[in-house]
């Protein structure tokens, strides 16, 4: 059974900084600092969500053109955990070769790297619902044995009826995993998600 989570309370993040971007093996992967990876489709608002979580508008550079993130970017949060921004997937307008390169980079980090990965945040579009790429990513995370939660971003775009429908769909598609409704625009759901991440 899925767990639908909306809000709680927690101290705001006071320290967040970009450390580096990598495309392969790097000493940062061997550090003892735990890592929280954020993954999702290219147009799901991943950068905006991370910025919203840390309370900084431009920590993660966002672009109006999906598919711009070409590295695995590390951000040190509160001097005790890395937020890891993985490249987006599933953007149809990317060339086949670029899309495959990004896919391999994501899979390498999740399956073969030495990362001290504590949790994965799988971001889906609350309004559009989970797509096939999202379901495949969830399957990969299960097969790899990673602890992950599902975050339905852009929840502010849903009315009450749409939210109920989205809840039902998410419960069906991601049973046995915690599901958070979130709005990077308004910050709804921020405190409880941070609680989950840092808990």
**What was the pLDDT predicted at 63?**
54
Residue 100 CA to chain centroid, in angstroms? 20
Which domains, and CATH codes, for the chain? 3-198 (3.40.50.300)
Provide the pLDDT for residue 77.
94
Quick one: tokens of 63?
A: 């672009």
User: Average pLDDT of each block of 10 consecutive residues along the chain (199 residues)?
Assistant: 43 88 92 96 91 91 60 94 92 72 91 92 96 95 96 96 96 95 94 88
Which tokens in the block code for residue 167?
């809840």
Strands 81-85 and 72-77: antiparallel
SS3 content of the chain, % helix, strand, coil (to 5): 35, 25, 40
Sequence-distant (≥ 6) Cβ neighbours of residue 27 within 8 angstroms: none
Buried b / exposed e along 33-57 (16+ C-beta atoms within 10 A): eebbbbbbbbbbbbbbbbbbbbeee
Diameter of the chain by CA atoms? Answer: 48
Helix (H) or strand (E) holding 165: helix 160-173
Query: What pLDDT sits at residue 21?
Result: 95
DSSP 79-136: TTEEEEEPPPB--TTS-HHHHHHHHHHHHHHHHTS---EEEEEEEEETTT---HHHHH
Q: Is the CB of residue 16 less than 8 Å from the CB of residue 56?
A: yes
């Amino acid at each position: 059974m899925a767990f639908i989570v909306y809000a709680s309370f927690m101290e705001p993040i006071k320290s967040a900084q970009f450390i580096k971007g990598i495309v392969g093996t790097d000493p940062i992967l061997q550090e003892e600092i735990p890592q929280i990876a954020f993954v999702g489709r290219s147009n799901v608002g991943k950068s905006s969500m991370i910025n919203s979580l840390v309370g900084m508008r431009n920590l993660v550079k966002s672009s109006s053109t999906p598919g711009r993130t070409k590295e695995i970017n590390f951000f040190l949060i509160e001097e005790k955990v890395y937020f890891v921004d993985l490249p987006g997937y599933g953007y149809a307008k990317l060339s086949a070769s670029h899309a495959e390169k990004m896919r391999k980079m994501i899979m390498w980090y999740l399956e073969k790297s030495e990362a001290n990965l504590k949790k994965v945040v799988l971001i889906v579009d609350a309004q559009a619902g989970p797509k096939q790429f999202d379901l495949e990513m969830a399957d990969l995370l299960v097969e790899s044995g990673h602890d992950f939660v599902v975050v339905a971003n852009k929840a502010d775009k849903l009315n009450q009826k749409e939210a109920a429908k989205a809840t039902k769909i998410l419960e069906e598609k991601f049973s046995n995993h915690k599901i958070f409704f979130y709005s990077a625009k308004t910050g709804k759901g921020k405190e409880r998600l941070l609680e989950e991440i840092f808990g």
